[in-house]
Copies of this chain bind each other. A is one copy, B any other.
Amino acid sequence: MTTTPRRARAPRQSDVARLAGVSQSAVSRVIGGDTDAARIPEATVRRIQEAIKELGYVPNPTARKLRTGRNRLLGVHTFEAVFPRAREDFYLEFLLGIEERAEEIDHDLVLFTSTGGTDGRRRVYRDGVNRLNVADGAVLLGVAADRAELARLEADGYPFVHIGRREVPGTRITCVVPDYESAAAAIVDRLADLGHTRIGYLSAGIDEESYADRRRGYESAVARRGLHDVSPAGPPGPGGAPDPAWLDTVLGGTADRLTAVVADAEWLAHPFAEALAARGLAVPRDVSVAVLEGVAPDAAVRWDCLQIPRREVGRLAIDTLVGLLDEPGTPVADVLVECVVVEGETVTAPAGTQGRTE
């Protein structure tokens, strides 16, 4: 086995050109594959290709990027460090989809890590420098997304896609989001189909788009189906505990009692079920409960819940981003990904009704 001597400098197109006895642009044309447009005959193409092989020429992606504006690099910016969080399913599933799809369409990922500010939170701009520029575009994710930075990014004309809906004052940005609104509506529809008429919404009390989406879906479906909404007025108590006064009201009479609730999260559904148990009531016998988020299948209670298509969201984020790159003028619009409603053991027909039993 012979050792190739370490090269002083990487060969470039002009080196290839000299060896093949043509001009640099001819080499570029052969590499770019537009030999027809440039009318390079096959014999010359072969000669150039041999020179390429002989010198071991590889194109310089940086120069390409400078010239064409593309380098098949897609950025991933998280507002927290990626790898510690990669453990958690939340992030990981998105990243899986992102990596998978990027690989399929032959792009590399740039993981932006260096944007950590002194306050521990990450920012896109630091020292006025947008590091994202090395990539053709970026996928941003992370709950802590700074709206001002998103606005500036958009104003700067940088192509990016945000995972999770994020409303930014002054602009619209492209988001890829689980369709919580439809999912919440579907769950209400299911409850209505089963015969529930008085239902409530256990809100997380978090002022964030994804929760607003759920709420909107709930409310529109409740209105459409003509149900009675008997949700608690305020936010949950510590630990997600429901308001006792509210419980008294909606569980008091037997005739007009609440028979089902929809909860933003498992940590709300759980204390609610416990409060019921303390009053001698059971889920789902007395009250049905559905959760508007994904719940681990090995959880203690097999909640009726959603299955958030995180992986698919990641994949679609990549596709949407590349679409943005290919057609820069595209009007921004949210991309919705359907959530599957998972049937568990916490929703049934209300007592005294004959629900379908299978």
Contact = CB atoms under 8 A, between A and B. Distances in A.
A275 interface: no
A303 interface: no
A219 B107 CA distance: 47
Most B CB atoms within 10 A — which of A110, A111, A116, A170?
A111
Given A10-B157, A58-B129, A92-B87, A134 B103 contact: no
A205 interface: no
Interface string A141-183: 0000000000010111100000000000111000000000000
Contacts of A52: 128
A2 interface: yes
B130 A58 contact: yes
Given A87-B87, A128-B58, A82 B99 contact: yes
A5 to B, nearest CB: 8
Interface stretch (A35-43, A66-74, A260-268): A66-74
Contact of A92 (B2, B56, B86, B156): B86
A47 interface: no
Contacts of A134: 61-62, 65, 71, 73, 108, 134
Interface residues of A, number: 64
Total identical chains: 2
A4 interface: yes
A62 B69 CA distance: 9
A100 interface: yes
A169 B99 CA distance: 33
Interface string A1-14: 11111111010000
Nearest to A86: B86
Interface string A48-81: 0000110011111111011000011100100001
B96 A3 contact: no
Given A65-B62, A66-B62, A111-B108, A103 B130 contact: no
A157 B7 CA distance: 6
12 contacts: A4-B152, A6-B155, A6-B157, A7-B155, A58-B156, A62-B133, A73-B134, A83-B99, A106-B114, A108-B113, A108-B134, A110-B110
